[in-house]
Structure 1
Amino acid sequence: MIESKYFYKGNFGIERETLRVDSQGKLAQTRHPFGNDEHITRDFCENQIELVTPVCSSVAEAVEALAELDKTARKVLAPNSESIWLYSNPPHFDSEDEIPIADFTGDHSSKRAYREVLERKYGKKLMLFSGIHFNFSFSEEFLHEINTENEDFHSFRDSLYLRLYKQLMTHSWLLVLLTASSPYYDASLDKDGKSGIILSEYSSLRNSKRGYWNKFLPILDHKSLRTFTGSIKKHVITGSLYSASELYLPIRLKPKGVNTLENLAANGVDHIELRMFDLNPSAPLGIDKRDLEFAHLLILYLLSQPDFDFTPELQEKAVNEHKNAALLEPDAKLLERGDDILENMTVHFSDNEHALEIISFERQKLNGRKVCNSIVNNIYE
């Protein structure tokens, strides 16, 4: 493990998507009541709140910031008898007419135009899926410290995050296995007018093949940040993607400031975003702090793993394994590989008692998935 007093430090942020519902548990039909607050905004639709924490110095601080935003949002919603729907899958709705596109206007009207493209391409129902995005960056002190060859700092930083991106893409399935929380859904998601709660074949609909994916597999070039952004731009130029924001993969590299491909290419990587976390209905804020702490530990662990050529075949394999992990009964081999990774992480963080507690917490959940798999197999044998 890297010896550095900055090893566990970094910058952390949380984005939480949820739906606003009325006193009957139906999608709220009122306008977004938070104005242009940059920390309480909208995602796809007018009744979908996105809480965006400021940049924080720890997971705990980010969760505290999320709690304050959640408290503020609930206080504003209460007079209208509205509340927050803390499930990744939406409540019952009668038709897509109840899903108004976020009404961005003025300088932000391009955001509405983008959402109208998404509506035509994917339909509104898909856009109701909600979840947690976890943002992380290493401290600059840490990056300078591990840049032992004194490379150009920006090039070193971009290369490191690109290497980490590849590792996280190939291990995103593990986080799905450990945090999937949405096996039930309302039948209206299948067809307008239908009702009733359905137990699906997925533990997480939004991470499954029914969730957020492009209509094709975007193959990217990971040799350098220049080739990476260039390969995304090619998909935009050909019309396969409307913009880089439409790249529906579970990991993203993000620039500082305005999130555009041009900004990323010109100014480099500021942080990395993990987009696969379901809302956890058993956690008051929709996320268990321990799951984000584990994600941080996984990032640190993967930093120690060797670089590799992320070939088109491996990119396809990564996406397929991510979708497989979202099954109610995932491939038993994934469960075993998950066990191996947790064992390796236990050794890697053997001198950190808190890290070991977090890994043990995740191991218990993984063991639970194994038991469930075994029960299902016995039922169908």
Structure 2
Amino acid sequence: MNTLTSSEQTFTRRVEAMESPAFLDALRDIKHGVEREGLRIEPAGALAVTQHPEALGAALTHDCITTDFSESLLEFITPPVASSEITETQLKDIHKFALENMGGELLWPLSMPCFIDDEARIPLAYYGESNVAQMKRVYRMGLKNRYGSMMQAISGVHFNFSLPDSFWKVWADYTGQTYSQDQVSADYLAMVRNYRRLCWLLPYLYGASPALCHSFMKGKPTNLPFKKVGKGTLYMPYATSLRMSDLGYTNSEQSALQICYNQIATYTEKLRSAMYTPSERFGQYAAGEGGHYQQLSKNILQIENELYSPIRPKQPTSSMEKPTDALVRRGVSYVEVRVLDVNPFSPVGITKSQMDFLDVFMVSCLMMESPDMTPEELVVCRENMDKVVLEGRNPELKLHTNGSDIAFSAWTKKLFAQFRKTAELLDKANQSSDYSIAVNTEWEKVCDPALTPSGRILDALLAENKDNVVFGLELAQRYAAEINGYDYKQYSREDFERMASESIAAQKAVEAADDKSFADFIHDYFAEPMATRAS
């Protein structure tokens, strides 16, 4: 007797179809890249407020070493490649070169910031004197005024995922579509919708911020029932990722935007509307009046990147091209997964096994049926995420789907039955067992919450009544020693020295090419006609 639902039958048929040689060949060329953020800290553990090390190159123009919100917040970027092992070794190389050129400073290994006694001391990132550089700095000034610098000092890991054109051509044929960029974009959005439905699972598996330093909460009202460990560490017993809670990278005003993932047209329309709709809350800050800039604009979003979303459909942009224009003109070419905490149990913030599981997760999201999302369903998705980030390891946790509650354990059991099928498929394509091993590793965390990063962190803090700042500093010191012992593999020291030199020259070229005032530059950026159709 067949007890599979219609959706499960569709998933099974798609898995079976992908066992064809054409699909298997294409699945070998899944590409991923990583963007890892991390604060520079002094040897004793305080925030480093020094300038971006000159030996690392120019943050404005460097391909793989830059800064995020703060001069203290490094961001390491790997290019898209098919091998997760190569990505991991690229990250190790970047970390090695950075640590060798940070003057004895360390890299903070946790998502939530180290002890910061005064958020006014968090230095804004500096990119030079060009118009583009000033725009980046004013944007960050706007983030500081709108949300506070402490929130912007939170670190995360972004995972970029794409399927090759060869896959989409076979997929179009299998699903009875005509291969085109519109078709590829529509199918990426189908993947994104299912990701939104299921991404609550990722903070459970990879959330690593169940605790935070009391300095983060200075002056912030909260109703969360925090407990205390050590001298000043606040934690929640079942929390997985406070970074993804209302304390961290979320914005309640943005929740009202109802960003739609059903079609590219509606997605870009919602984003653009937020960029050009005045905000009463942010109207108090200057946006160019009399030459004074405290933000780029007084609208709900200064630019599209201000949207805090657990995933973004992406298309690489050309110089000064808006992300929505790139999507309209050339469609979706990859997706950016944005819910990952920095993994404190990896010297580079993420592991190969994590990347292998994320491949399984994203391919599974594509193979599941993906009806359009209603505004009501989007609210449910947010509520499920909120429950997991605050109560994810609670054995009584229930989530909501299809109009009713379901036990966390029951839903994850169903999902992992599908993940195992996808993992077997990817193993067959790559002649490995890595994907099945990765799925089994994550399943062990479902069976035993103490094995999750958040569980391991709290166990370590509570066992020794230890503050998370002490825990983080111990890891930072250990990883600096480990990375010092690595040999360069994907890059060489000379490669990084050349990239640094080239980036500095490129920044000077950008500055020399400016031919208008900053006020005119900003006016022209926002006045440029928006792209209206894909080519």
TM-score normalised by structure 1 residue count: 0.92
1:276 pairs with 339, 347, 369, which one?
339
For residues 179 and 29 of structure 2, the distance between their equivalents in structure 1, rounded to whole angstroms, comes to: 22
By how many angstroms is 1:242 displaced?
Answer: 1.8
**Equivalent residue for 2:273, pick from 215, 220, 234:** 234
Q: How far off its partner does 1:347 sit?
A: 3.7
In the alignment, residue 117 of structure 2 is paired with which amino acid?
A: D
Residue number among 354, 357, 360 corresponding to 1:297 in the alignment: 360
Q: Which of 124, 136, 139 is equivalent to 1:101? A: 124
Q: Say if 2:414 is the partner of 1:340.
A: yes
1:322 equivalenced with 2:385 (yes/no): yes
Q: Residue 184 of structure 2 aligns with which residue?
A: 157
In structure 2, C-alpha distance between the alignment counterparts of 1:236 and 1:297, rounded to whole Å? 34
How far off is 1:344 after superposition? 2.3
**Cα distance, 1:240 vs structure 2:** 2.0
Give the SS at the match of 2:367: coil
Which whole-Å CA distance do the structure 1 matches of 2:412 and 2:451 have between them? 14
Q: Deviations over 1:121-156 (max 9, x none)?
A: 110111111011000110111111212145251111
The offset of 1:44, in angstroms, is 0.6
Please give the alpha-carbon distance, in whole angstroms, between the structure 2 residues aligned to 1:11 and 1:56: 5
The amino acid of 2:108's aligned partner reads W
Whole-angstrom distance in 2 between the partners of 1:347 and 1:14 = 25
Give the alignment partner of residue 288 of structure 1, picking from 339, 351, 361.
351
- Mark the CA change 1:335 to 1:244 in structure 2 (over 3 Å): closer, same or farther: farther
Alignment RMSD (CA, Å): 2.1
Q: What is the CA distance between 1:35 and its match in structure 2?
A: 2.9
Note if contact 1:20-1:85 (Cα within 8 Å) is conserved in structure 2.
Answer: yes
- Superposed CA offset, 1:263-289 (max 9, x none): 122221111000111111111211122
User: Runs of 5+ in structure 2 lacking a partner?
Assistant: 1-14, 220-230, 278-298, 399-406, 428-432, 455-535
Give the 3-state SS of the residue equivalent to 2:197 in structure 1.
helix
Which of 423, 439, 454 is the matching residue for 1:359? 439
Aligned pairs, number: 370
**One-letter identity of the residue aligned with 2:201:** L
Query: How has the CA–CA distance of structure 1 residues 370 and 48 changed in structure 2, closer, same or farther, with 3 Å as cutoff?
Result: closer
Cα distance in 1 for residues equivalent to 2:269 and 2:83: 33
Distance 1:347 1:370, change over 3 A: farther
Equivalent residues of 1:185, 1:197 under 8 A apart:
yes
Alignment-derived partner of residue 49 in structure 2: 29
Report the 3-state secondary structure (helix = DSSP H, G, I; strand = E; otherwise coil) of the residue aligned with 1:20.
strand
Q: Is the 8 A contact 2:111 2:154 kept in 1?
A: yes
Equivalent residue runs for 1:120-269 within 5 Å: 120-148=145-173, 149=176, 151-191=178-218, 196-200=232-236, 202-216=239-253, 217=255, 218-238=257-277, 239-258=299-318, 260-269=323-332
Letter in 1 for 2:144: E
Among 83, 87, 98, which residue is 1:73 paired with? Answer: 98
Q: Specify the code of the residue in structure 2 equivalent to 1:72.
A: F
Which protein is bigger by CA-based radius of gyration? 2
Equivalent in the alignment of 1:44: 69
1:8 positional shift: 3.9
Query: Deviations for 1:194-252, whole angstroms, at most 9, x for unmatched residues?
Result: x7222235321111221211222120233321221112111211122222111111000
Alignment-mate amino acid for residue 162 of structure 2: S
CA contact (8 A) 1:221 1:227 kept: yes
- Per-residue deviation, residues 107-128 of structure 1 (Å, max 9, x unmatched): 3211111111111111011111
Q: Distance in 1 between matches of 2:50 and 2:197?
A: 41
Range with bigger deviation, 195-204 or 134-143: 195-204
Identity %: 27
- CA contact 2:190–2:262 (8 Å) conserved in 1: no
Contact 2:34/2:78, CA 8 A, preserved across alignment = yes
Structure 1: stretches of 5+ with no match in the other structure: 374-381
SS in structure 1 of the partner of residue 316 of structure 2: coil
Deviations 1:161-212 (A, max 9, x none): 11111111111111111001111211100117xx722223532111122121
Aligned to 1:376: none
Mapped partners of 2:451, 2:313: distance in 1: 36
Indicate if the aligned counterparts of 2:188 and 2:366 stay in contact, CA closer than 8 A.
no
Partner deviation per Cα, 1:281-339 (whole Å, 9 max, x = no partner): 11121112211210110111111111212111111111121121112445242343122
Instruction: Give the Cα–Cα distance (whole angstroms) in 1 for the partners of residues 30 and 244 of structure 2.
Output: 27
Structure 2 partner of 1:10:
30
The one-letter code sitting in structure 2 at the alignment partner of 1:229 is: T
Q: SS in structure 1 opposite 2:27? A: coil
Per mean C-alpha deviation after superposition, the further-off stretch among 356-365 and 323-332 is 323-332
In the alignment, the residues of structure 2 paired with residue 190 and residue 150 of structure 1 have an alpha-carbon distance, to the nearest angstrom, of: 52
Please tell me the residue identity of whatever aligns with 1:342: F
CA contact (8 A) 2:109 2:343 kept: yes
